[in-house]
Amino acid sequence: MTAQETIQKTVDENDVVLFMKGTKLMPQCGFSSRVAGVLNFMGVDYLDVNVLADEAIRQGIKDFSDWPTIPQLYVKGEFVGGCDIITEMTLSGELDQVFADKGVAFDREKAEQIRAANA
């Protein structure tokens, strides 16, 4: 299976996927840590894909999304964004709406706590 096929299969078979440097329990860069931290705090069930473990996936995800940076968040097969976009969406409440619209469980109270702490 090619990297592109592996990525497509991963995105298709999992409701929420974060392609990141490191893992959700041990991020290996600040940007990945920020997005994983948001998802973890909000109680989102997601698959973490450590791009540092496979150079083909690391480059392949950039080609797949036509997005140059990592991390990359996918929800129900749709590319949502990288760290800056996810941060903005979290603070504006847009990420809550994406999860709600797509039927992804998350803790609304925790999402509100993030916004309150950053107001």
Question: Can you tell me the distance from the alpha carbon of 71 to that of 15, in angstroms, rounded to the nearest whole number?
Answer: 16
Question: Can you tell me the distance from the alpha carbon of 57 to that of 55, in angstroms, rounded to the nearest whole number?
Answer: 5
Burial 69-88 (b: 16+ CB within 10 A, else e): ebbbbbbbeebbbbbebbbe
H or E stretch including 7? helix 3-13
Sheet of 47-50, strands arranged across: 47-50, 16-20, 72-75, 78-81
Question: Is 29 known as a binding-site position?
Answer: yes
The annotated binding site for [2Fe-2S] cluster is made up of 29
The annotated binding site is made up of 29
